[in-house]
């Protein structure tokens, strides 16, 4: 899930809608601009979607989009509903008002001290799903690749 203050609405992935067999309703056709500049079409939504994060439940109307990297994007509509919002971008912590109480949500923290190795098949799947913007090929004593190696 991505909390996106630049998104005007809340969106749910069409794949998640199918996986969870969620009921949808038609809505006026709309086009939304993705972060990469692409255009995404929407003609249905999930009204009153109940979702949970870190032990807290929320209800949002969510437009259905073909999202490639996230199950859900919560936008300004949700942020307005849980205002006042406090964010510490360095620690990835967010404090919101929910059910008349201040609660804290913890985002995924960067782990820059390590880099896990993945298989070529996993990398290929990430590339095909649009989850990789660039790839570095390492050379050195323990990670040399032959010219015939594929990844």
Buried b (16+ CB within 10 A) or exposed e, 67-76: beeebbbbbe
The CATH T-level fold of domain 2-106 is: Cathepsin D, subunit A; domain 1 (2.40.70)
Express each pLDDT in 106-138 by its tens digit: 998 777 777 778 888 888 888 887 777 777 666
What pLDDT does residue 35 have?
77
Closest CA to 106 of 48, 29, 53, 30: 53
What pLDDT does residue 93 have?
95
CB-CB contact of 70 with 7 (8 Å)? no
The domain limits of the chain are 2-106
Express each pLDDT in 40-94 by its tens digit: 999 999 999 999 999 999 999 999 999 988 999 999 999 999 999 999 999 999 9
Q: Which of 17-21, 48-52, 98-102, 145-149 has the lowest mean pLDDT?
A: 145-149
The number of CA neighbours under 13 Å toward the Cβ of 119 is 3
What pLDDT does residue 68 have?
81
């Amino acid at each position: 899930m991505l909390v996106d203050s630049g998104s005007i609405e809340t969106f749910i992935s069409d794949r998640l809608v199918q996986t969870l067999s969620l009921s949808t309703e038609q809505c006026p056709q709309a086009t939304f601009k993705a972060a990469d500049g692409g255009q995404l079409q929407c003609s249905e939504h999930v009204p009153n979607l109940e979702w949970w994060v870190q032990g807290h439940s929320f209800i949002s109307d969510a437009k259905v989009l073909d999202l490639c990297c996230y199950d859900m994007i919560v936008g300004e509509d949700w942020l307005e509903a849980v205002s006042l919002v406090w964010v510490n971008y360095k620690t990835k912590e967010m404090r919101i008002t929910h059910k008349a109480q201040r609660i804290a949500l913890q985002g995924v923290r960067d782990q820059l001290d390590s880099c896990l190795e993945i298989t070529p098949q996993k990398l290929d799947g990430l590339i095909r799903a649009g989850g990789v913007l660039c790839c570095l090929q390492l050379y050195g004593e323990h990670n040399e690749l032959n010219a015939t190696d594929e990844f």
